[in-house]
Amino acid sequence: GLTWQRMYGCDILEDNSTRGVSQYAYNGRDFIAFDMDTMTFTAADAAAQITKRKWEEDGTVAERWQHYLENTCIEWLRKYVSYGQAVLGRT
């Protein structure tokens, strides 16, 4: 079989700045990763270079990922932290 995996995450740092990561794997091997600091993609192998070129040519993939990681992901993180605090407050 074939497996396509996506992993992404975000952090709220102590200075209240945010950080995000997004990476993909194909059949359990690293494929391509997005670096939000540099707004670039890193391809893990020659096959991933094709995807990297297509995403760069598209011109919107990096911006969409940046928006997701800086906004949607952070909103969800804050929501889940508040849920956890509510549960802990009940003890």
* Distance (Å, whole) CA 82 – CA 6: 26
The architecture that CATH gives domain 4-89 is: 2-Layer Sandwich (3.30)
Beta carbons of 6 and 22 less than 8 angstroms apart: yes
pLDDT digits (tens, 9 = 90+) for 41-58: 999 999 999 999 999 999
Name the residue with tokens 């939000």. Answer: 36
Beta carbons of 21 and 40 less than 8 angstroms apart: no
User: What residues does each domain of the chain span?
Assistant: 4-89
Residues of the chain with pLDDT under 70: 91
Beta carbons of 36 and 66 less than 8 angstroms apart: yes
pTM of the complete model? 0.82
Beta carbons of 78 and 10 less than 8 angstroms apart: no
